[in-house]
Amino acid sequence: MEQCCGRAAAATPTNADLHSGRYNVARAATWKLFKRLGLTWLCCGICVGSYAAALAIARTGADEQDCSHTCKAPFRTDNGTVLLVGDSITAGYFPDVAGILDGRAPAASCYDAGHTGGLSSIAGVILGRFGSGDGWCGTSHGVLQCVDGYLNELNANLSVIHFNWGLHDIDPHIYRTHISHSQYYANMEKLYLTFKRAAPAATVVFQTTTPVPPSYTRGRDNKDVIAINDVAKTLFGPTGKYTDVIINDLYQHIVDVCHNDPESTCYPDSCDCPHVQDDGVHFSPAGRRFNALMVASTIAPLSTGPTLLAAGQTPPEKRDVAEWRPWELAFFIQLGFLGGLLVLVGGAVLLRRKFAHVPASEDGGETKDPA
């Protein structure tokens, strides 16, 4: 063997060396290391991929975003027996409804502070503004996140719940979310069932969504209003799934009063009705008072109806408000997936070991005990 710099030069392995046990052991160890590394990377990929899939699943539900910062507290928690739920249209006619049913309308400062003012003459009225803001939280998805917390804080013995939601769900330009008709149906049903759970003795009134005039060009269209009102009527009212719900067809009331003006007989198809609706989808002072009259006339005969306390029933327990975030929900979905995968792999390994130790006869048949 030649010397190189005082050291023996490494000999080139021969065929005998390649087939020696020592070389095979080294090659097997290297292959085993590669398999372990591959298994490690596979496990990492499964963990990352399963979490991404779980997060995607978690975000397909109604809790896609956290809307707790948009939830509003009740405006009054004393002796209110009528709850008006809705968006800015409801907020627009609420003071006049309160003036009719409560005895006197609140001043603007009292309204902003959350007080309706005065003693009840017919019924105390409460405004329910659950969610707000632009984007996803302004849709009925956001309303459903806020309603339980609102009702938990509300110390009311309700006889009537009058609600509407719709204009936000047909405006992807502002709220950046497309609410399909099936989603709208499901969300309105969940909202109704939440009200009945909180106030089972109350009469529920659904108000149809108000028209969009043709001059409004910011993303809403009156055809969409008609479509969601039709969806709501398959859910509520005499021909709907829940026949106990009364329909206040405010949409049709507005159309009828506008058609009294010869210049607005084409409303809302091809012309506006400015003396009633003068600010996009919002209403003039006269329009807000008209809406209030229609709402109050629907509510007043029902406001003396039974309540839980009047019927001698115990109010339902306050419902826990879900506080799960999508990433938290995804974590538990991933745990369930990985746990199930571990059980499957473990079962496969046990079965393989079991069958690997079963002796087989030479002729392929069953083994016989030696004589």
Work out the average pLDDT over 5-23. Answer: 57
Contact 283, 88 (CB under 8 A): no
Q: Domains, the chain, ranges and CATH?
A: 68-302 (3.40.50.1110)
Work out the average pLDDT over 93-100. Answer: 90
What digits encode the pLDDT tens for the residues 256-299?
999 999 999 999 999 999 999 999 999 999 999 999 999 999 99
Q: Find residue 282's DSSP bridge partners.
A: 279
Residue 100's pLDDT is 87
Contact 120, 102 (CB under 8 A): yes
| pLDDT band at residue 180 under the 50/70/90 scheme | very high
Residue 119 or residue 58, greater confidence? 58
Residue 134 or residue 81, greater confidence? 81
Q: What type of residue sits at position 151? A: L
Residue 174's pLDDT is 84
Q: How far apart are CA 183 and CA 203, in angstroms?
A: 24
Residue 191 or residue 358, greater confidence? 191
What digits encode the pLDDT tens for the residues 119-161?
446 777 888 877 667 788 899 999 998 898 888 888 778 899 9
Q: Find residue 279's DSSP bridge partners.
A: 282
| pLDDT band at residue 371 under the 50/70/90 scheme | very low
Residue 75's pLDDT is 75
Local structure of 245: helix, strand or coil: coil
* CB proximity list for 204: less than 8 A, separation 6 or greater: 160, 161, 163, 192, 195, 196, 236, 242, 244, 245, 246
